[in-house]
């Protein structure tokens, strides 16, 4: 049995009480308040797997899940006493967060018989509302089953947004009504970097993923990258290229050579169809419009394009997110620039923050999961790296960018680009153990965080990940159990 607070992300407040341990015995049962049942069933499943006991749902259960005010959208209270375990939250999302905490207090080996939970109280709530990661399906396609397994793995760390990079120069990975060649050609054989593929999500598969993620309190954030990163769309529909000539497919790693034509109405007819379709499939509030590395678009055309497209996102009921280059224009205060460079100041993002926009922090030198861990590790890129676990952990999002402080931050996201990835194992190896570091950066109070404590808590995940079949990088910085 570990200590009560030995979880990732570290809870905001922990009061261990060694005299109050609770034993999950053969008679253990769960009592769920109305509205708490779905999360209570998830907890019951975990407790059954850990103990081998039946753990039914029963009105006299001493493991209690309650809904009560005062914990915020995702916060919770966990009380472990000798005679009862009480989980209280304002909303099911908070109960789900508490279950992720409890899960890490259970032994790794399954069907272990009676299990003792360490006594005491946890009061916990997230520092930032947006705690995300991103998977690039465009450079390398991952199947719905692979994405589901990724969702299961990240949910344990209280990650609550999964950004899917669905389109790029190499491939187009989401079926769009009325534009079948996008995926027939853009999702065809050989469309991944280096000739990988084929693959795309049908609208129904995407909707299934959205629902699956929602069951784990994760919001899907779809990205359609534009006006650059559109070569695959132009291969499928040459009329989307400025001069209408046939466009050659490209599966190399270059960026910044393609652009939609900001001066043609046809561009906006296409973009509106895509935004309408993606918005209709996406219950979450966000729609990511990319906007990065538009080196083949003039500055004037870039502005024209965004002034047309930002209102379209709003018309279909979504809040636009864009890579921070979008802050070159005056953004509506509902728009969210996502900072990804390695520099210490960005005039556009600072101006957007001063105008009331919230910002997502993804500085590449701290959060890019596609960076190599070390100069000699594979796979990965190295333009912002190497990025070891300590570097992913040891920073404060509120002091990262000049004039973009705590109040301006919506949250933190760790993107995983897939140019060098070939398999789900590669995805897992790049994600773990760095995403848990970022999850703690985004969830835990800065004052509760400490590298020495984190690396010790992280070490315990070695056996846990092995039991779950999740590959991870055995970083030499961590004293693996």
| Footprint on this chain of ligand TNX (rule: CB under 6 A) | 255, 292-293, 323, 340, 368, 370, 381, 417, 419
**In sequence order, what are the beta bridge partners of 16?**
120
d(CA 440, CA 393): 8
b/e map 165-190, b = 16+ CB within 10 Å: bbbbbbbbbbbbeebeebbebbbbee
Q: Which is nearer to ligand TNX, 278 or 430 (CB)?
A: 430
3-state secondary structure at position 34: coil
Which one, 255 or 350, has the nearer CB to ligand TNX?
Answer: 255
As a whole number of angstroms, the distance between CA 74 and CA 81 comes to: 23
Q: Which lies closer to ligand TNX via its Cβ, residue 124 or residue 223? A: 223
DSSP conformation class of 89? E
Q: How far is the CB of 359 from ligand TNX (least distance, A)?
A: 14
Is residue 352 within 8 Å of 359, Cβ to Cβ? Answer: yes
Backbone phi and psi for residue 184, each to the nearest 5 degrees, phi listed first = -60, -45
**Cβ closer to ligand TNX: 256 or 332?**
256
CA atoms of 26 and 15, how far apart (whole Å) = 27
What is the rounded end-to-end Cα distance, in angstroms, of the chain?
Answer: 14
Minimum distance of ligand TNX from residue 162's CB (angstroms): 17
Output 61 or 291, the one with its CB closest to ligand TNX.
291
Closer CB to ligand TNX, residue 292 or residue 301? 292
The least CB distance from residue 323 to ligand TNX, in Å, is 4
User: Which of 260, 272, 199, 251 has its CA nearest to residue 229?
Assistant: 260
Of 92 and 380, nearer to ligand TNX (C-beta) is 380
CB of 205 to ligand TNX, least distance (A): 23
* Nearest-approach distance from CB 305 to ligand TNX, in angstroms: 16
If the CB atoms of residues 323 and 461 are measured against ligand TNX, the closer one turns out to be 323
Q: Give CA 43 to chain center in angstroms.
A: 22
Alpha helices in 12-63 (DSSP H): 37-51
Measured from the CB of residue 364, what is the shortest distance to ligand TNX in angstroms? 6
Contact 336, 410 (CB under 8 A): yes
CB of 404 to ligand TNX, least distance (A): 17
User: Could you tell me the maximum CA-CA distance found in the chain, to the nearest angstrom?
Assistant: 76
Count CB neighbours of 383 within 10 A. 10
Backbone angles phi, psi at 435, to 5 degrees: -60, -40
Q: Is-catalytic flag, 223?
A: no
By the 8 A CB rule, do 181 and 235 touch? Answer: no
Residue 448 in tokens: 């509760």
CB of 446 to ligand TNX, least distance (A): 25
Alpha-carbon distance values, 279 to 24, 90, 104 (Å): 45, 28, 36
Which residue do the tokens 């991103």 mark?
Answer: 134
- With tokens 């005299």, the residue in question is 19
Choosing from 293, 325, 413, 419, which is the catalytic residue? 293
Tell me the C-alpha distance between 326 and 334, whole Å. 13
* Residues designated as active site: 293
């Amino acid at each position: 049995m570990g200590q009560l607070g030995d979880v990732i992300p570290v809870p905001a407040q922990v009061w261990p009480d060694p005299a109050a341990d609770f034993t999950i015995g053969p008679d253990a049962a769960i009592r769920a308040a109305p509205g708490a049942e779905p999360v209570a069933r998830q907890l019951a499943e975990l407790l059954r797997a850990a103990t081998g006991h039946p753990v039914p749902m029963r009105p006299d259960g001493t493991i209690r899940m309650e809904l009560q005010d005062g914990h915020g959208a995702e916060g919770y209270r966990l009380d472990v006493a000798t005679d009862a375990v009480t989980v209280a939250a304002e909303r099911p999302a908070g109960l789900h967060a508490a279950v992720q905490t409890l899960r890490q207090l259970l032994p790794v080996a399954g069907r272990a018989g009676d299990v003792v939970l360490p006594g005491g109280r946890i009061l916990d709530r997230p520092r930032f509302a947006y705690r995300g990661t991103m998977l690039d399906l465009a450079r390398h396609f991952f199947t719905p089953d692979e994405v589901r397994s990724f969702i299961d793995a990240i949910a344990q760390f209280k990650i609550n947004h999964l950004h899917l990079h669905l389109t790029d120069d190499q491939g187009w990975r989401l079926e769009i009504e009325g534009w079948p060649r996008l995926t027939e050609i853009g999702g065809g054989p050989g469309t991944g970097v280096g000739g990988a593929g084929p693959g795309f999500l049908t609208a129904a598969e995407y909707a299934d993923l959205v629902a699956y993620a929602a069951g784990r309190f994760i919001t899907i954030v779809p990205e359609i990258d534009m006006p650059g990163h559109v070569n695959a769309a132009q291969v499928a529909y040459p009329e989307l290229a400025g001069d209408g000539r046939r466009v050659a497919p490209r599966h190399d790693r270059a960026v910044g050579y393609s652009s939609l034509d900001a001066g043609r109405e046809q561009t906006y007819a296409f973009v509106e169809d895509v935004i309408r379709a993606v918005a209709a499939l996406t219950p979450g509030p966000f729609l990511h419009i990319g906007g990065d590395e538009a080196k083949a678009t003039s500055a004037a055309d870039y502005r024209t394009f965004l002034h047309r497209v930002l209102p379209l996102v709003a018309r279909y009921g979504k809040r636009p997110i864009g890579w921070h280059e979008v802050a070159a224009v005056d953004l509506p205060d509902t728009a969210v620039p996502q900072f990804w460079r390695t520099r210490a100041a960005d005039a556009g993002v600072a101006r957007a923050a001063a105008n009331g926009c919230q910002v997502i922090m993804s500085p590449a030198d701290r959060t890019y999961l596609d960076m190599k861990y070390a100069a000699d590790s594979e796979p990965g890129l190295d333009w912002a790296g190497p990025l070891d676990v300590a570097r992913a952990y040891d920073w404060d999002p509120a002091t990262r960018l000049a004039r973009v402080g705590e109040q301006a931050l919506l949250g933190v996201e760790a993107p995983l680009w897939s140019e060098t990835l070939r398999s789900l194992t590669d995805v897992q190896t790049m994600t773990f153990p760095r995403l848990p570091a970022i999850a703690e950066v985004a969830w835990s109070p800065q004052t509760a965080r400490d590298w020495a404590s984190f690396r010790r808590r992280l070490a315990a995940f070695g056996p846990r990940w092995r039991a779950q079949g999740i590959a991870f990088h055995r970083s030499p910085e961590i004293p693996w159990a």
